[in-house]
Amino acid sequence: MTAARPEWMARLQSALEYPDPEYFARFQPPEEGGRESAVLMLFAPATGGGEDVVLTERAHHLRSHPAQVSFPGGSLEPGEAPVQAALREAHEEVGIDPAGVDVVAELPSLFLSPSQHIVTPVLAWWPVPAAFGAIDAGEVHRAERVRVDHLLDASIRFTTVHPMGYEGPAFEVDGLYIWGFTAMLFSRVMQLAGLERPWDADVRRPLPERFHPRGRVAQGPGRSSSEPEEDRR
């Protein structure tokens, strides 16, 4: 049975017509451009109701961002549009068939200054989810569908504190530590969709040491005037 798009996706599309200028101005791409990439924010119907979101965990031995949790995605190939790149990368990384994905919208592109990447998030719905998993164990350690309800639970949300100054939202669920760009993007989408629940941003936890060597920070507006590096994209 094909599941219809959740109602909140329509609310999100309406909200994106008048995006918060303060938030998106923080990450507005510069005129000189940057390396273009895309990520697939793929949601699917969850067992028992609600939605899951697809997340991947990078291989733990990688030099760049080992064990970091992210949405499937990667750099655009020549002549590729962001939607094409996001779908291709999801297929290559975790075996998701693009033919079964309902693309809902492109979100505003975000500039990550340390890596000089311009990332376009692609919102999509997976009405009939199928089996998927890490295709290349050298790149992806695991791929999971995580319940959105769990990520919105205040008990697993907190502010992570990087030793180099970055502070931002984070989640710890199902053995996944979600922080940085992925956590910020998910949080903002949930806000725009009207799904975010109250949580205590004053609950602060230091970033686990396994993430320390891989992050640089760049000055910019925000709670800590900094943002994490995300050079995978």
Where does the pLDDT of residue 62 fall: very low under 50, low under 70, confident under 90, or very high at 90 and above?
A: low
In sequence order, which residues have a C-beta less than 8 Å from that of residue 182 and are 6 or more positions away? 55, 68, 69, 70, 71
Where does the pLDDT of residue 189 fall: very low under 50, low under 70, confident under 90, or very high at 90 and above?
A: very high
In sequence order, which residues have a C-beta less than 8 Å from that of residue 203 and are 6 or more positions away? 157, 158, 159
The phi, psi pair for 151, rounded to 5°, reads: -70, -25
Domains: count for the chain? 1
The mean pLDDT of 110-122, rounded to a whole number, is 81
Where does the pLDDT of residue 231 fall: very low under 50, low under 70, confident under 90, or very high at 90 and above?
A: very low
Query: How far is it, in rounded angstroms, from Cα 232 to Cα 81?
Result: 18
Q: What is the pLDDT of residues 123-149, one digit of tens each?
A: 999 999 999 999 877 778 899 999 999
Q: What is the pLDDT of residue 222?
A: 28
CATH for 49: 3.90.79.10
Residue 173 is assigned to a structural domain of this protein: no
Residue 74 is assigned to a structural domain of this protein: yes
Q: What is the pLDDT of residue 225?
A: 32
pLDDT, the chain, mean: 85
- The 3-class SS string of 42-87 reads EEEECCCCCEEEEEEEECCCCCCCCCCEECCEEECCCCCCHHHHHH
Report the DSSP pairing between strands 117-125 and 110-112: antiparallel
Least confident of 23-27, 206-210, 219-223: 219-223
Q: What is the pLDDT of residue 65?
A: 62
Q: What is the pLDDT of residue 183?
A: 96
Residue 215 is assigned to a structural domain of this protein: no
Residue 171 is assigned to a structural domain of this protein: no
Q: What is the pLDDT of residues 142-155, one digit of tens each?
A: 999 999 999 999 99
Residue 205 is assigned to a structural domain of this protein: no
The mean pLDDT of 91-117, rounded to a whole number, is 89
Residue 51 is assigned to a structural domain of this protein: yes
The mean pLDDT of 50-67, rounded to a whole number, is 79
Using the predicted structure, report yes or no on whether residue 164 has a pLDDT greater than 80: yes
Print the domain residue range for 75.
Answer: 7-147
pTM summary value: 0.87
Q: What is the pLDDT of residue 90?
A: 96
Share of the chain above pLDDT 90, in %: 62
Where does the pLDDT of residue 60 fall: very low under 50, low under 70, confident under 90, or very high at 90 and above?
A: low
Q: What is the pLDDT of residue 33?
A: 63
Residue 153 is assigned to a structural domain of this protein: no
Share of the chain above pLDDT 70, in %: 78
Residue 50 is assigned to a structural domain of this protein: yes
